[in-house]
Structures are given as structure tokens and as C-alpha cells.
């Protein structure tokens, strides 16, 4: 006799299924704890990220109008010429892990906002509109640089949280019911087999006893 999964209905396989059930239940419990920890970390990271987004949005409302004014006065080619050569920015990052998820933290970054002299541009060639746009976008870039590690951490935590939730749901809604059903089916089959064997032995003993009564020994 075999179960629907094709596994032989034996006590050994029943014991294996019970052990598998215990392992799965322990795995579900660990994943639940991981999910709870990820939720805590997600909301911990979400609060400062939301605040940073608000500050960035406010700065963007100042930077882009300043850029539009500079473009209106100097044109695209003129603004590009003022911004040449491009500037390299070096930052220091510290890497860490949260439940096996790699995250980064900005430990040091240069001050992006500079004076006119530090930009190596002549005031007479740039004008106040271009200088204002440069200053506002330097602040804007600094805010984006500070927020980038938080946003990356938040995204990775969200992805890990979604993956862990799917794993928990798969185990709870599919695998655990299957294993429990297999255990219950195997137990019923073995109990039925034992009852049939017990009845067969009783009938066999009854026949032997009946033969002794009908044919007594000399």
C-alpha cells in the first residue's frame, strides 16, 4: 500500500515524516523571528529615510528653478562649459550585515558646497544665476549622497522582508499541510492494517480452536 505521494506506508517512513515535520516547524519559527526582526529594522530605517526624502524634495524645489534661471541666461552649452571639468567625489563607506543582508553606512564624505574661488570659475563669466544654481545643486547632491545608503538599506530590507514572508507562507500554507496530511494518512493506514491483522489472527485462532473441538486429540 502506498500513499498518494508514492511513499510506502511503513512505520519507518512515518517516523521520517514526523521528523521532517519537526524540522519544518522549527524552520517556520526561525523565519517568523527573522521576519519580525526585519520589520523592526525596516521601520527603524524608514523613519530617517522619510525625513531625508522631505528635505531632499524641499531642496529640489530650490535647486531646479535656480538651474532653469541659469539655463535661460547662459543656455545649455554655456552652463555645461561652466561645469567643466566634472568633479570626482570620494566617500567612505562601512559595510555591515542585518540578518545576512549587506548594508552600507556613509562614514565620511567631502563637503560639496564650495565658494566661487573653490569652483575655479570667474565671477564675471558665470554671473549670479549660475553661481546660485551651482550652490543649490551642491547642497542637493550632498543630501542625495547622505540619503543613498539609507535608501539602499531600506530597499534591501524590503526585498528580504518580502522574500521571508513568501517563504513563511509557502511552508505554512503548502508544505506543512502536505506533511501533516501524509502523516495522518499513513497513521490511519497503519492502524487499519493492524486491525486487519488482529482480526485475521483472531479468526485463525478461532479456526484452530474449532478444529480441536471437532477433532479432539487421542
Closest CA to 183 of 28, 18, 10, 7: 18
Cell triple for residue 208? 484452530
Cell triple for residue 5? 505521494
pLDDT for 170: 95
Task: Report yes or no on whether pTM surpasses 0.75.
Answer: no
Is the pLDDT assigned to residue 215 strictly greater than 70? no
Q: Which residue is it, cell 566661487?
A: 116
CATH topology of domain 11-214: Helix Hairpins (1.10.287)
User: Could you tell me the residue ranges of all domains in the chain?
Assistant: 11-214
pLDDT for 93: 75
Four-residue CA torsion sign, 63, 64, 69, 72: positive
Give the pLDDT confidence of 9-38 residue by residue, as tens digits: 888 989 999 999 999 999 999 999 999 999
Radius of gyration over every alpha carbon of the chain, rounded to an integer in angstroms = 37
* Rounded Cα gap, residues 48 and 208, in angstroms: 86
Inter-residue contact 172 to 32 (CB < 8 Å): no
pLDDT band at 58 (very low <50, low <70, confident <90, very high): very high
Amino acid at each position: 500500500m502506498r500513499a498518494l505521494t508514492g511513499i510506502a506506508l511503513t512505520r519507518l517512513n512515518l517516523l521520517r515524516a514526523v521528523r521532517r515535520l519537526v524540522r519544518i516547524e522549527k524552520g517556520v519559527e526561525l523565519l517568523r523571528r527573522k521576519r519580525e526582526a526585519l520589520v523592526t529594522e525596516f521601520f527603524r530605517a524608514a523613519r530617517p529615510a522619510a525625513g531625508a526624502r522631505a528635505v531632499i524634495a524641499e531642496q529640489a524645489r530650490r535647486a531646479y528653478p535656480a538651474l532653469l534661471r541659469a539655463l535661460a541666461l547662459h543656455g545649455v552649452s554655456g552652463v555645461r562649459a561652466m561645469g567643466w571639468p566634472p568633479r570626482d567625489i570620494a566617500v567612505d563607506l562601512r559595510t555591515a550585515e542585518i540578518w545576512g543582508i549587506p548594508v552600507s553606512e556613509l562614514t565620511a564624505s567631502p563637503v560639496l558646497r564650495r565658494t566661487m574661488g573653490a569652483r575655479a570659475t570667474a565671477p564675471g563669466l558665470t554671473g549670479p544665476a549660475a553661481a546660485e544654481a551651482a550652490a543649490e545643486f551642491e547642497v542637493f547632491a550632498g543630501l542625495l549622497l547622505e540619503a543613498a545608503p539609507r535608501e539602499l538599506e531600506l530597499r534591501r530590507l524590503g526585498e528580504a522582508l518580502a522574500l521571508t514572508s513568501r517563504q513563511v507562507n509557502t511552508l505554512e500554507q503548502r508544505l506543512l499541510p502536505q506533511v501533516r496530511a501524509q502523516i495522518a494518512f499513513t497513521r490511519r493506514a497503519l492502524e487499519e492494517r493492524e486491525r486487519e491483522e488482529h482480526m485475521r489472527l483472531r479468526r485463525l485462532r478461532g479456526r484452530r480452536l474449532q478444529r480441536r473441538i471437532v477433532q479432539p486429540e487421542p
